[in-house]
A and B are shown apart, each in its own frame.
Chain A
């Protein structure tokens, strides 16, 4: 299958803004014109060709050689696929509307912030504020799906409004903090402070948080039908994300944060 590849000419230590490298922004452009596009490297503006060697055709499928300094991977992307070989920096999938981003390594801070559609798959770990709200914004992720095979940092799903975040490993402190709606599923351990300030939404896990907040009230253990639909959506994502689909959706339910209306829920699979 033809695709467009971007290979770093040399490893760089400065931050690189790669938000311009998306299928929609590069549609119809030749390799030469793509190479002349401006981009930010540290505090300088350079031509894209100075940083990346570009090869291939059709921008519908893009492969980018990764690095922890590549910020804004796939920002605002609307369609197509963008694959990052290695790590990505901060804001991966920010403002994303559609299509698919696959990062084989890890992503930095604020991945999927303000994401509204599409799918972000991370093979490694994710930094703090996964699907969270940027500074000054009232809402975090607003749609789409984020799948992290490894661990997530602190405050995953902060002010999240809609969509699903699936974390295959552990998550840090204050997961689903100030969550407005949507679903965060954690297949590993959940850190302390989970659901702090949560108004609505669902935090679903295999294990109880390290310390359940006193503002969450236990409601009992139940079979909840919507979990059958939810877990079925995740069967195609492989292990560990498909593991719940074959199980009876029996969960222990805590509702809270009572200090913020109490309509959020933490569900622990039993």
Chain B
């Protein structure tokens, strides 16, 4: 399959079942909501070492937030409900509770709940108060700028993490421009995040390493500088490879985001220096979800 001069590999992205949630952070204005959201989603690129993968989903208008203030919706993913609960408590406690004027709410509905204000309330040292409003409990924790308002719990859903595709281009600039276009079009979609810096990864990994302590190491088959000494997947015209990783609330969300991203890369095309599109997988034995590139683009 070749689209606009870009070859689409006969391969698939292999993604995994995860646990995900959405938080809504509001503040006096969008600037402070964004400060909290950026801090909360910091160091959350990969569950391998960060504990969670997180990102800003979108900004919310005053009509879309529970308290009628500007806000930001954030998606968080982790490998288990226990880990997700731990990450929520730490990240909200250190990055939202601390941020002036903010409040935090659950942004998704399901029967499975994780504590939010339920544990953070203890910061109030006995001065915290709760209110049951519209069937939901909120905690009012006294802080130095007034009160920090947090919904008691946040819902959690089964989610999908690790959808991906690789952009193979003639040089760094071409790969970067194509990935930027892809991320821009994918960010318009709900229910997905691209957790890496700017949505793009340059250090794609393979499972395992020659060093026994490491669970993953560089994906040498896609490293252009190793083309001559490893079993390379790269042809001579490829000088740079970048990857986009997608986490979503459902496999349909990940599929939709991949479709938008792949279409954007293809529209940059060979004229923009893009040569091929591939995807990362582990032979299909590890991940529950397989996203075949050619099926998505068909």
A162 to B135, CA, bound (A): 11
Q: Is A230 an interface residue (CB 8 A)?
A: yes
Q: Report A200-254 residues with CB < 8 Å from chain B CB.
A: 200, 202, 222-226, 228-230, 232-233
- Nearest Cβ distance between residue B106 and chain A, in whole angstroms? 13
- Nearest Cβ distance between residue B16 and chain A, in whole angstroms? 36
Residue of B nearest to A245 (CB): B68
A232 to B105, CA, bound (A): 16
* Per-residue contact bits, chain B 124-141, to A (CB 8 Å; 1 contact, 0 not): 000101011110001010
**Chain A residues whose C-beta falls within 8 Å of the C-beta of B138 in the assembled complex:** 226, 229
Size range of the chain B interface in the assembly: 10 to 19
Q: Are B67 and A228 in contact (CB under 8 A)?
A: yes
Residue of B nearest to A162 (CB): B132
Size range of the chain A interface in the assembly: 10 to 19
Q: Are B68 and A224 in contact (CB under 8 A)?
A: no
A226 to B132, CA, bound (A): 10
Q: Is B149 an interface residue (CB 8 A)?
A: yes
Q: Is A183 an interface residue (CB 8 A)?
A: yes
Q: Are B134 and A233 in contact (CB under 8 A)?
A: yes
**Chain A residues whose C-beta falls within 8 Å of the C-beta of B131 in the assembled complex:** 183, 202, 226, 229-230
**Chain A residues whose C-beta falls within 8 Å of the C-beta of B149 in the assembled complex:** 225-226, 229
Q: Are A229 and B66 in contact (CB under 8 A)?
A: yes
Q: A222, A229, A233, A263: which contacts B129 (Cβ < 8 A)?
A: A263
A85 to B131, CA, bound (A): 34
- Nearest Cβ distance between residue B83 and chain A, in whole angstroms? 29
**Chain A residues whose C-beta falls within 8 Å of the C-beta of B147 in the assembled complex:** 222, 224-226
Q: B67, B129, B132: which contacts A225 (Cβ < 8 A)?
A: B67
Q: Are B146 and A222 in contact (CB under 8 A)?
A: yes
A38 to B138, CA, bound (A): 45
Q: Is B69 an interface residue (CB 8 A)?
A: yes
Known: A222-B146, A223-B146. A228 touches B68 (CB 8 A): yes
A183 to B130, CA, bound (A): 11
Residue of B nearest to A263 (CB): B129
A119 to B23, CA, bound (A): 31
**Chain A residues whose C-beta falls within 8 Å of the C-beta of B74 in the assembled complex:** none
Q: Report B122-178 residues with CB < 8 Å from chain A CB.
A: 127, 129, 131-134, 138, 140, 146-147, 149
Interface residues of B (CB under 8 A from A): 66-69, 103, 127, 129, 131-134, 138, 140, 146-147, 149
Other A-B pairs beyond A183-B131, A226-B138, A228-B68, 6, CB < 8 Å: A222-B146, A225-B147, A226-B131, A230-B133, A233-B134, A263-B129
The 8 closest A-B pairs by CB, nearest first: A225-B149, A228-B67, A229-B133, A225-B103, A226-B131, A222-B146, A233-B134, A230-B133
